[in-house]
Amino acid sequence: MTMFPAKVKYLHRLLQLKHTLWCSPSLGKAPCSRLVLGIETSCDDTGAAVLDETGEILGESLHSQKDVHLRTGGIIPTVAQQLHREHIERVVQEALERSDVDPSRLSAVATTVKPGLALSLGIGLEFSQKFVRQHNKPFIPIHHMEAHALTVRMLQPVAFPFLVLLVSGGHSLLAVARGVDDFLLLGHALDEAPGDALDKVARRLSLIKHPQCSTLSGGQAIELLAEDGDRTRFPFRTPMGQTYDCCFSFAGLRNQVNMTIMKKEAEEGIEQGTLLSCVNDIAASAQHTVASHLAKRTHRAILFCKANGLLPSDSPTVVLSGGVASNQYIRKSLTIITDATGLRLLCPPAKFCTDNGVMIAWNGVERLREGKGILPPDVDVSYEPKARLGVDMTAEVKAAAIRLPSVRMKISK
């Protein structure tokens, strides 16, 4: 829909007026909701957003580095750092302007400080510390995975505790969220994350040369091609079938896929870098195995939670989030498990699954409401590239050695 500039200006004025009236104490209205600016730079997205206490997004801005990293064949940390440096000021400015909020009206600034790429985290943290000192605002350091886990609560009421599966380019973890800063870690990635593995498979298949995939991330490209593929053609082994815990491993699967690719290249007499005729079937088989691994680990986590009374009997919930959670086939495979175990599955829409400033601002709101982890502007904070989420329960989960009943993973396309 296009709007005439005059109409846009008029609407903007109207919104400003509404805001002035609402916030005016002399008119006896409720006091203004507290406002939080969130800043995200932990990986390859520079994001900022202003949220009020109810979770309404007043303004946001996001600069994605995806296209640059697609061309260079993966994230080069110094390049990511340079791009964050070039864009952070504009992105934060844009989020403030779009929300029509002057920095003086902010109640706090929340910024990702862990885990992530050191060089990327450093840019967001340095910018934020300067900003909070300049405007004399409290600072809320944010754990990136805590933010992914809590995003769902911005969109709908989801009470603690709930089980959360977070899958992205940098992480794979299962945890029980018991409170804003209270997590039990049931499983984590032992080698690479599922998004990373899919990105590497996509690169090995040279999917960037595929006419339908040139602008897609590896995971998105695999999902698209898998729609027209036969997942039974390459029966890859689901990882860690003999390890009865909730940890994840994707490096071995990637190796299996690579071996198949090499074999097929030899059979078709083509060089690495040329598109194979069976890319759709490889994509479908790899995606199915990733989905099956995630589903099995989640199934065991649900049984562990049930055995230990970690979830409520009323409406027990699994939340699926992180970049890989936008994959519909993976969502469906998780639904099979939650249906079989009597839980409900919640997934934020794709734009809230991937990295953004909104989820960081929301985490700031949740912490502000509870008065947890709010620092004065002059406190020095360090970033932490590696940081586990919550209390590590992986040994207890392993010791329980829960065997899974078989569940038929028949996933419709």
Residue numbers of the site for ligand KG4 (CB under 6 A)? Answer: 43, 168-170, 195-196, 198-199, 217-220, 223, 322-324, 326-327, 354-355
Closer residue to ligand KG4 (CB): 161 or 219 = 219
Q: Shortest distance, CB of residue 274 to ligand KG4, whole angstroms?
A: 22
According to CB under 5 A, which one of 99, 112, 168, 172 is a site residue for Zn ion?
168
Smallest gap from Cβ 308 to ligand KG4, in A, equals 29
Selection from Zn ion, ligand KG4, none that 124 binds (CB < 5 to 8 A by kind) is none
Part in contact with Zn ion (CB under 5 A); list of ranges 98-106, 125-133, 164-172, 399-407? 164-172
Helices (H) and strands (E) in the chain, counts: 14, 11
> Which segment (1-9, 165-173, 251-259, 369-377) binds Zn ion by CB under 5 A?
165-173
Nearer to ligand KG4, 132 or 198 (CB): 198
Q: Which of 355, 357, 358, 366 binds Zn ion (CB under 5 A)?
A: 355
Q: Long-range contacts of range 63-68, CB-CB < 8 Å, 24 or more positions apart?
A: 63/87, 63/90, 63/91, 66/217, 67/215
Chosen from ligand KG4, Zn ion, none, partner binding at 377 (C-beta under 5 to 8 Å by type): none
Nearer to ligand KG4, 196 or 366 (CB): 196
- With b for 16 or more beta-carbon neighbours within 10 A and e for fewer, the 384-410 pattern comes to eeeebbbeebbeebeebebeeeebebe
120 binds Zn ion (CB under 5 A): no
198 binds, among ligand KG4, Zn ion, none (CB under 5 to 8 A by kind): ligand KG4
- How far apart CA 226 and CA 234 sit, in angstroms, is 12
Q: What letters, b where the CB count within 10 A reaches 16 and e where it falls short, cover 168-203?
A: bbbbbbbbbbeebbebbbbbbbbbbbbbbbbbbbbe
Region binding Zn ion by CB under 5 A among candidate stretches 221-229, 266-274, 351-359, 389-397: 351-359
Nearest distance in Å: CB 355, Zn ion: 4
Q: Is 45 in the site for Zn ion (CB under 5 A)?
A: no
Smallest distance, ligand KG4 to C-beta of residue 202, A = 7
CA 218 to CA 169: how far, in whole Å?
10
Q: Is 357 exposed, middle or buried (0-12, 13-18, 19+ CB in 10 A)?
A: buried
For 134, phi and psi rounded to 5 degrees? -65, -40
The entry of Zn ion, ligand KG4, none near residue 357 (CB within 5 to 8 angstroms by kind) is none
Single-letter amino acid code for the residue at 73: G
Helix (H) or strand (E) holding 219: helix 218-226
Q: Which does 60 bind (CB under 5 to 8 A by kind): ligand KG4, Zn ion, none?
A: none
d(CA 362, CA 147): 7
- Phi first, then psi, for residue 374 (nearest 5°) are -105, 120
Q: What does 240 bind: ligand KG4, Zn ion, none (CB cut-off 5 to 8 Å by kind)?
A: none
Neighbours of 21 (CB within 10 A): 10
Least distance in angstroms from the C-beta of 32 to ligand KG4 = 32
Cβ 166 to Zn ion, closest distance in Å? 8
| Dist CA 129 CA 125 (whole Å) | 6
Q: Give residue for tokens 């409900």.
A: 344
Residues that bind Zn ion (CB under 5 A): 168, 355
